[in-house]
Amino acid sequence: DAVELGTYRHYMQKEIFEQPQALGNTLEMIAGGNTISPQVFGAHAGEILGATRRVLIIACGTSFHAGLVARYWLESIAGIPCVVEIASEYRYRESVPDADTLVVVISQSGETADTLAALKHAKSLGMGKTLAICNVPESAIVRETALRFITRAGPEIGVASTKAFTTQLAALAMLTLSLAKLNGRLNDEDEARYLTALRHLPVAVGKVLELEPQIEQWAQRFASKQHALFLGRGRHWPIAMEGALKLKEISYIHAESYAAGELKHGPLALVDKDMPVIAVAPADELLEKLKSNLQEVRARGGELYVFADAGSAIEESEGVHILHMPEHYGMLSPVLHVIPLQLLSYHAALVKGTDVDKPRNLAKSVTVE
Ligand code: G6P
C-alpha cells in the first residue's frame, strides 16, 4: 500500500490529485479533431442516440449527482428532456415505460446492486436502449447494456468517490454533445468550442488543485462544527449536494445541501453563527440571484465560505470568506467547482482524525441491497 500511495497520505488525496490525468485519459477519444462521433459510446451508438427523444438517468450516491449535472446539460444544450432517478427508488416504483427513452446508468464500480436491479427492471419494461457509464470494463452493469462508455479514472480505492465523479462528468458532457449534434442543436463552431474546453479540463483542474493551502485553512475552522449548509443554483446545485455528501461521508459533520432559492422556504431558520454556509458561486447567469441569497445568510449572522470564480465580484468582509477559482468555465464549470469541495472534506476529515479511506459504516461498492 505504502508504495502505491507514493507521497500521499491517503488514497482519497491521491485520487483527488490524479484527476487531471484521469480526465486526460478519459478524454483521449476526442484528443484530435473538432468533431465528436457517437462511436465513442459503442458500434451501434449512432442509431440509438440518433433516435433518442428522452433520457432517463439512474444511479446511486456520487454517480447520481453526476446524473443531476447532466440533466442541466442535456436539456439546455441537446434540447432533450431528462429525468434522473435514484436507483433504489426507480426499481420499486410503478413508472411509465417508454421504449424510445435512452436509459443511462452511471456507476463507478458497475456492481452496485440497486443500479443493476434498476437497469434490469427498465429492460423488463421494454426499455432496451441502454447505456452504461462505468469505470470497470467487465462489470455486471456493463454486460447488461447495449452501449457503454468506460471512464478511465483508474482504480478508485477511497470509499468517497472523487476522480470517478469528474470522469463521469466528462463522459456525460460528451454524451450531451453527441445528442446535441444528432438533434441538430450544435453548429460546428460551438462543437469545436466545447471540445476545446473539454480538452483543456486537465489543465484547468490542475490549477484548481493549487488552491489546496487556502482550503486547508478553511478546513481547520470547519472541523469543530456540528453542521454545515451547502448552497448552489442551476447546474451547480448538484455540486453543492456532492460537497455535502463528501463532508458527511468522511468527516461525519452533518451537512445539507439546498438549491439556494429554497433557502427562504425552510433552511434559513437554521442559520446562525454556528452554521457555516458554503456557497458554490460561479460567475454565471444566476450569480446575482445567488448573491441576494448570500445576503440573507449574512443578515442572520451565518458565516459564509464562498467558492467564487474570478470575475464574481463578491468581496471579503466580516463573516464572508472568499476563495477565488482561477477562471469561469462555462458549461463545464461543475467539473472545476467540485474539486475544492473534495479538498475541503478531505482536510476537515484529517483535522478530525477519521479513517478517510474507509469511513465508518460505508462500503466502496454496495453489492447487496
Ligand atoms: C457507495 C460508495 C459511493 C458511490 C455509491 C455508488 O455508496 O460509497 O462513493 O457513489 O456507492 O457507487 P457506484 O459504484 O455505483 O458509482
State the pLDDT at residue 125: 98
Torsion of CA 68, 73, 76, 78, to 10 degrees: -120
Q: Is 63 in the pocket of ligand 1 (CB under 6 A)?
A: yes
Distance, CA 161 to ligand 1 centroid (Å)? 7
Q: Is 359 in the pocket of ligand 1 (CB under 6 A)?
A: no
Chain-wide mean pLDDT for the chain? 95
- The 3-class secondary structure across 149-201, one letter per residue, is EECCCCCCCCCCCCHHHHHHHHHHHHHHHHHHHHCCCCCHHHHHHHHHHHHCH
Question: Quick check: ipTM above 0.95?
Answer: yes
Q: Is 158 in the pocket of ligand 1 (CB under 6 A)?
A: no
Ligand 1 pocket test target in 12, 109, 116, 167 with most atoms within 8 Å of CB: 109
Q: Where are the alpha helices (DSSP H) in 58-162?
A: 61-73, 87-90, 113-124, 140-144
Q: Write the residue with the smallest CA distance to atom 2 of ligand 1.
A: 364
Distance, CA 244 to ligand 1 centroid (Å)? 15
State the pLDDT at residue 286: 87
Q: What are phi and psi of 281, to 5 degrees?
A: -125, 70
| Residue 210 near residue 325, CB atoms below 8 Å | no
Residues ≥6 apart with Cβ < 8 Å to 269 = none
Q: Is 167 in the pocket of ligand 1 (CB under 6 A)?
A: no
The pLDDT tens digits of the residues spanning 92-132 come to 999 999 999 999 999 999 999 999 999 999 999 999 999 99
The pTM for the full model equals 0.97
Ligand 1 pocket test target in 161, 248, 364 with most atoms within 8 Å of CB: 161
Q: What is residue 147's three-state secondary structure?
A: strand
In which order are the strands placed within the sheet that holds 304-309? 254-259, 227-232, 277-281, 304-309, 320-325
Q: Is 366 in the pocket of ligand 1 (CB under 6 A)?
A: yes
Q: What are phi and psi of 224, to 5 degrees?
A: -90, -5
The pLDDT tens digits of the residues spanning 158-216 come to 999 999 999 999 999 999 999 999 999 999 999 999 999 999 999 999 999 999 999 99
C-alpha 53/C-alpha 47 separation (Å) is 12
Catalytic residue status for 364: yes
Q: Write the residue with the smallest CA distance to atom 5 of ligand 1.
A: 61
C-alpha 34/C-alpha 99 separation (Å) is 32
- Give the mean pLDDT of 279-308: 91
Relative to the CA of 61, which ligand 1 atom is closest?
10
Q: Write the residue with the smallest CA distance to atom 8 of ligand 1.
A: 364
Q: Which residues partner with 227 through β-bridges?
A: 254
